[in-house]
């Protein structure tokens, strides 16, 4: 190696170790800090609240669960009756078809574990591409930038989708509780929204409906056919719930954003010493 080339070689070595270090930090650091708050805003006294705080990284989730004004919520869950599911007789062929459909849905469903697997592949490919860049000095940065951009998409889109899929932002409580199902309610109205900013992704859900678990079985059909109005019998079965789930970008994604700076620095060194060599010649 000539004395003219060693600065470029040192820059490639530093870039290689720098990218490997950042990719390792991105994989081992927390990816998201998630703060969730779900509040019963209609039907229950004192607005019982469910607070969920947890972190997501490449291997696990650490969850903290808190209840505020838990007594009214406990009484609500205790006092409601299970809502019977309409019985239907299925043929053997229909049962087999439903089982196959359920298995297929399980294979095709996207969850947090699958998003982790995809991110692991991206991390591995990024390190491999950087090794190739070290071995091939004149290699263009188009492919490394493409892999880096896929990593950004993974952090911003795939991982949040996996979190939401695993959390289950649906049903009468937007995934904050599995004590009730959407089928337990009549005239259920669900509104959801998503907002992005530079630091986080926010999901909101608002639900309102009549809980049939608070209505005598003989009156279920009546409530289903006509929504009770204020002052009517069973209007007190109206339950409203508002939920907010905020996914705050953590160190894993922030570390990933530093990778192009390493390439930029390496490019500056290449330009500088290439121009110096040309001047000397």
Question: What is the pLDDT, as a whole number, of residue 276?
Answer: 54
Q: What pLDDT is stored for residue 10 in this prediction?
A: 78
Three-state secondary structure call for residue 192: strand
Q: List Cβ neighbours of 259 (8 Å cut-off, separation of 6 or more).
A: 19, 22, 23, 126, 148
Residue-level pLDDT at 133: 84
Mean pLDDT of the chain: 82
pLDDT tier, 180 (very low <50, low <70, confident <90, very high otherwise):
confident
In the predicted structure, residue 100 carries a pLDDT above the cut 70: no
Q: What is the mean pLDDT of residues 108-117?
A: 79
Residues 6 or more apart whose Cβ sits within 8 Å of residue 95: none
pTM: 0.75
pLDDT tens digits for range 75-89: 988 888 888 776 666
Give the Cα separation of 161 and 151 in Å (integer): 14
Q: What is the pLDDT of residue 19?
A: 92
Range with the lowest mean pLDDT among 4-18, 29-43, 136-150? 4-18
- Summarised one tens digit per residue, pLDDT across range 233-245 is 889 899 999 999 8
pLDDT band at 107 (very low <50, low <70, confident <90, very high): low
Cβ neighbors of 205 (< 8 A, separation 6 or more) are: 169, 170, 174, 190, 191, 192, 193, 241, 242, 243
pLDDT, tens digit (0-9, with 9 covering 90-100), for 56-73: 888 877 888 889 999 999
CA distances from 112 to 59, 166, 173, 191, 196 (A): 10, 6, 20, 24, 20
Any idea what the Cα angle at residue 163 is, between residues 161 and 164, rounded to 5°?
A: 65
Share of residues in the chain with pLDDT > 70 (%): 81
pLDDT at 232: 87
For 192-213, what is each residue's pLDDT tens digit?
Answer: 888 888 888 898 889 999 999 8
DSSP letter (8 states) at residue 228? P
Between residues 256 and 183, the one the model is more confident about: 256
Strand, helix or coil for residue 194: strand
Q: Which helix (H) or strand (E) holds 167?
A: helix 159-167
Residue ranges per structural domain of the chain: 6-280
Is the pLDDT higher at 42 or at 105? 42
Residue 168 pLDDT exceeds 70: no
Q: What is the pLDDT of residues 209-255, one digit of tens each?
A: 999 988 888 889 888 898 999 888 889 899 999 999 898 888 999 99
pLDDT of res. 148: 95
pLDDT band, very low/low/confident/very high, at 173 (cuts 50, 70, 90): confident
* Strands 200-211 and 49-56, bridge-based pairing: unpaired
Tokens of 23: 């990719």
Residue carrying structure tokens 């692991």: 120
20 — pLDDT class (breaks 50, 70, 90): very high
Nearest partner of 158 among 117, 105, 104, judged by Cα: 117
**Best CA proximity match to 126, nearest among 144, 150, 101, 107:** 144
């Amino acid at each position: 190696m000539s004395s003219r080339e060693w600065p470029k070689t040192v820059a490639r070595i530093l870039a290689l170790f720098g990218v490997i270090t950042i990719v390792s930090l991105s994989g081992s650091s927390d990816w998201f800090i998630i703060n969730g708050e779900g509040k019963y805003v209609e039907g229950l006294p004192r607005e019982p609240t469910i607070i969920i705080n947890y972190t997501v990284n490449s291997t696990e989730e650490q969850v903290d669960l808190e209840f505020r004004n838990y007594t009214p919520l406990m009484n609500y869950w205790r006092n409601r009756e299970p809502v019977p599911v309409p019985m239907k007789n299925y043929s053997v062929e229909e049962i087999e078809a439903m089982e196959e459909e359920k298995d297929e849905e399980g294979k095709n469903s996207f969850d947090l574990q699958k998003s982790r697997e995809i991110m692991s592949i991206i991390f591995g490919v990024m390190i491999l591409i950087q090794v190739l860049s070290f071995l091939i000095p004149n290699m263009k940065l188009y492919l490394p930038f493409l892999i880096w951009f896929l990593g950004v998409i993974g952090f911003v889109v795939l991982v949040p989708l996996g979190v939401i899929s695993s959390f289950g932002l649906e049903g009468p409580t937007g995934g904050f509780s599995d004590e009730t199902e959407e089928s337990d309610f009549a005239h259920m109205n669900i509104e959801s929204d998503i907002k992005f900013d530079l630091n986080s992704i926010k999901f909101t859900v608002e639900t309102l409906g009549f809980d049939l678990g608070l209505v005598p079985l003989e009156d279920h059909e009546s409530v289903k056919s006509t929504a009770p109005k204020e002052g009517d019998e069973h209007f007190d079965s109206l339950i409203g719930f508002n939920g907010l789930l905020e996914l705050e970008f953590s160190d894993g994604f922030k570390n990933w954003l530093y990778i192009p700076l390493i390439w930029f620095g390496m490019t500056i060194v290449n330009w500088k010493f290439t121009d110096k060599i040309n001047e000397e010649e």
